[in-house]
Amino acid sequence: MPSIEGEWNYNIAWDGIETKGSFICVSNTGNNHGKVVTDGFGFRYADGADYIPVGTTCYAWVHQTEALIAQTLETFASAPFNKVRMCVFPKHMPYNSNDPELYPFHKDENGKWDVAKPDFKFWTQFESYISKLKDLGVEADLILFHPYDRRGFSSFTMEECSVYLDYCINRLSAFRNIWWSLANEYDLISAGTNEDWDIFGSKLKSEDIYGHLISIHNFVHMYPKKDWMTHVSAQNNDCRRVKQWRNAYQLPVIMDEFGYEGDIESNWGNLSAFELVNRAWVAVASGGFVTHGETFDRKDEILWWAKGGKLHGESPERFAFLKSLLYEVGQLDPPVRKMPVNTDPNANPSGEQGESDIANSLRVIMALPEDERNQFMLRVTPLIVRNPNYMLQYLERTCPSRTTVRLPENGLYRIEAIDVWEMTRTAVEKECCGNISIRLHGRK
């Protein structure tokens, strides 16, 4: 990943062998826009081109058969997703317990993984898959550690983890489409402490000279903000909390896991397509970004979330519709609203016996503990995001036949009713301003 045009020279010394050479770095062409970087509460490519993450989860697709891997890449070629959450290590959990042909490391004479002896065949194949994703315009959000393990990778010592991370950084960071995800559900990995993750995150930031994006993913407890974080990778089924995390972290927020379209027994994996799409729009209308997931029970146990293959659900085309709209309108942010902080919850704001409904409601809200107060305000605040040219309001599962749109008095605006399931956009007002009452179709 050279960052400056011109002639570059290299000198590599390894295992007693020295190699010298040079190459010419030219300007980028075609679909090469460089790595993805953060831009305020959003993202862009290094050359300034737009990048809005609309990802998917496909944990162990690189650990499957050659035929299944080829099918997964074929699916990516036509799917709308421009990011994939994927693991370096194989996983062990329901629908995902098969042994891969290759592992990242060889074992020593005692049958223990030897991190000083990487299996070059595995890493060569792994690089080829990252390269193919790159050619398809898909960012590889690499999960470096995870708790779903029966093979010993999740119980590495700190020293072994450091050697492994060194190898990942030195070997993979030259790919422009790499992101680092320190862990999937870090708080389920018993061998790691918050201090350990902080050490690993600082290591990635200091030793990856190309400055790829870095995050860490939670099960229940959000990891506290650290300097090495470039964005927030969150798991929660309440996508309205994006606003809270934007404010707390002052970073872009990706809802990387808010449920899966499917029908498996686990409650996180049996959402209807409508509910998955609804949650995605809630996240976007709260100022965040989204990641798709699919878990349909199949006799062959090839579930997209685990092994890749083909997509079978109804949500991907609707994620494509959402992605197209987002690229049209650009980065959207919720309005900044500050709650009053100096109100005495025990005082009567009006000084009279009969206070107004608003004043009474405010007094009750301010008497709540801070976390409950924040959650209440998230639930009752309309889902509106905007930029200088566009405003988006999402009405969720409500079914109004009429609603009021509040626009500035100056300027002329076009109002469209967007059906997120039918994937239609219908102009209901072509030139208007101020407060406008519009008719809707009365459907969710």
| Tens-digit pLDDT profile for residues 118-161 | 999 999 999 999 999 999 999 999 999 999 999 999 999 999 99
Residue 371 clears pLDDT 90, i.e. is over it? no
Residue 15 has a pLDDT of 84
Say if residues 163 and 200 touch (Cβ distance below 8 Å).
Answer: no
What does pLDDT average to over the chain? Answer: 92
Residue 364 has a pLDDT of 66
Instruction: Determine the average pLDDT of the residues in 168-191.
Output: 95
Residue 219 has a pLDDT of 96
Q: 140: which 2 tokens?
A: 């590889």
User: Of the ranges 12-21, 198-207, 358-367, which one carries the lowest mean pLDDT score?
Assistant: 358-367
Residue 336 has a pLDDT of 76
Q: Which CATH architecture has domain 38-329?
A: Alpha-Beta Barrel (3.20)
Per residue in 89-105, pLDDT (tens digit) is 999 999 998 999 999 99
| Residue 37 pLDDT level (bands cut at 50, 70, 90) | very high
Give one DSSP letter per residue of 28-85, joined into a string.
--TT----EEEETTEEEETTS-B---EEEE-TTGGGS-HHHHHHHHHHHHHSS-SEEE
Residue 356 has a pLDDT of 53
Instruction: Determine the average pLDDT of the residues in 381-399.
Output: 93
For residues 71 and 63, give the distance between their C-alpha atoms in angstroms, rounded to a whole number.
13
pLDDT, greater one: 396 or 357: 396
| Residue 355 pLDDT level (bands cut at 50, 70, 90) | very low
| Residue 168 pLDDT level (bands cut at 50, 70, 90) | very high
pLDDT, greater one: 294 or 193: 294
Residue 358 clears pLDDT 60, i.e. is over it? no
Residue 354 has a pLDDT of 45
Per residue in 288-343, pLDDT (tens digit) is 999 999 999 999 999 999 999 999 999 999 999 999 999 999 999 998 765 444 43
Residue 382 has a pLDDT of 86
DSSP 187: G
Contact partners, residue 45, CB within 8 Å, separation at least 6 = 33, 34, 35, 36, 37, 51
Residue 344 has a pLDDT of 39
What does each C-alpha distance from 411 to 21, 51, 389, 432, 434 come to in angstroms? 60, 29, 11, 8, 9
For residues 62 and 54, give the distance between their C-alpha atoms in angstroms, rounded to a whole number.
20
Per residue in 45-79, pLDDT (tens digit) is 999 999 999 999 999 999 999 999 999 999 999 99
Could you tell me how far CA 379 lies from the centroid of its own chain?
22
Instruction: Determine the average pLDDT of the residues in 167-181.
Output: 97
Residue 347 clears pLDDT 50, i.e. is over it? no
Domain boundaries, the chain: 38-329, 338-380, 398-444
**% of the chain surpassing 70 pLDDT:** 90
Residue 346 has a pLDDT of 35
Residue 379 clears pLDDT 80, i.e. is over it? no
| Residue 374 pLDDT level (bands cut at 50, 70, 90) | low
Q: Strands 402-406 and 435-439: what pairing?
A: antiparallel
Residue 108 has a pLDDT of 95
For residues 419 and 414, give the distance between their C-alpha atoms in angstroms, rounded to a whole number.
16
Residue 418 clears pLDDT 70, i.e. is over it? yes
Residue 6 clears pLDDT 70, i.e. is over it? yes
- Judged on CB neighbours under 10 Å (0-12, 13-18, 19+), 61 is buried
pTM over 0.75: yes
**% of the chain surpassing 90 pLDDT:** 83
| Residue 2 pLDDT level (bands cut at 50, 70, 90) | confident
The residues pairing with 10 across neighbouring beta strands, listed in sequence order, are 21
User: Of the ranges 108-117, 351-360, 405-414, which one carries the lowest mean pLDDT score?
Assistant: 351-360
Helices (DSSP H) in 261-369: which residue ranges? 273-284, 304-307, 316-329, 357-366
- Which amino acid is present at 89? F
Per residue in 229-246, pLDDT (tens digit) is 999 999 999 999 999 999
Contact partners, residue 330, CB within 8 Å, separation at least 6 = 50, 387, 389, 390
For residues 81 and 143, give the distance between their C-alpha atoms in angstroms, rounded to a whole number.
17
